Each structure stands twice: as C-alpha cells, then as structure tokens.
Structure 1
C-alpha cells in the first residue's frame, strides 16, 4: 500500500499536529521527513522521553512512556487511519511501523 513519497498525517483529537513524507521503505519501518505544526509542541516531550528511554536501554519503562502516544494520537495513511502503530519522531525525522489490525498485547 505504501510507496515512497506518500504523505501520512499525525492527528490529535481531529487536529493535524504533523505531516510525514515517506522517503524510505525499509521492510517493516517507513522513514520520512516530519513537518510539525505548532501544536506538536504539546506532545513533543512524549517522543523525547521515549527516545531517551531507548537510548538508555531502560526498556522496562518503554511501554508506560509510549502508551500515551497511540492513546492520544492517530496515524493516518494515504488511505485513512491505521489501527495500530509504533511512531518515533526526532527533529524533522520520523520512522514508524503500522498495522491495519490492532496488535493488542
């Protein structure tokens, strides 16, 4: 479904908070340029915290820190919202995985 240069949206409660233009499709992970809207500043600390946890390899804290992201945000593909996703944003870069089915766990 996804191809290079596809545009995805990150949305919070119906408000666009950023756009991802996919530039690389690396099996399972899509990578692209992230263009933040001003309201992204409200959720940026969440992404910063998750990346800090990954860098420190304190994986026991990952789920608790990450869970609010998919609870509060939606990832919208060119075909519409996806059911589940794992999204990282750092500066103007984003990388993510997605599924049409809820992963549950």
Structure 2
C-alpha cells in the first residue's frame, strides 16, 4: 500500500488528505474511492484532461505515460513537467504527494 498525500484544494479537498492506495490502482481511482470527487469527464478513458494532477513527490515510481496520455496532457491547464492524468498514473509501492490544479478545462461540470 502506498500513501498518497493530497495537497489542499479549495473544492475537492480543502484540508488536504492522506489516503492509502493498493499498487496497481490509478491515482484517480484512489481519490474517488476515498471520497475526493476529482473530475473525470471521460470516465477514465484518457480522452480529456479533467483529472489532471501534478505529482510533487514520488512520480518516479509511477508507470511511464504513454503517447496518448502525453498528447492529452498538452491540452491541460497549468501543465508542469510532473503533470499526469490521474486516470492513467498507476500507483506502485512508493508514497506520493499530489496536487490537484485549481482549474481544469471542463467547461460544463455535471451534477453542479
């Protein structure tokens, strides 16, 4: 089990959080399983950037991004070298520190 520390985000996680995730789980799945309602407009199919996160620590332990993820990331708001689509970033055994960017490109949020 890896520990994922989520930095405070005004909407999804105002106080920040620390959760556990089994190896083989995507960061997005781990967040959703722990009631952190990160956007994932494409239902985790690597077809949007709404689940974009910045992996501040532990990113070396994640799977390498494939070409389709890299292509989608080019469209993400606030892209940084440590950016990943959380639906594609698979947790290993190493602990992570993750930041959810303040904005996403999703112009029409559902259920809001």
Do the two structures share a fold, i.e. TM-score over 0.5? no
Q: Give TM class, smaller chain.
A: 0.3 to 0.5
Whose helix fraction is larger, Structure 1's or Structure 2's? 1
Whose strand fraction is larger, Structure 1's or Structure 2's? 1
- Superposition TM-score, scaled by structure 2 size: 0.33
- Superposition TM-score, scaled by structure 1 size: 0.34
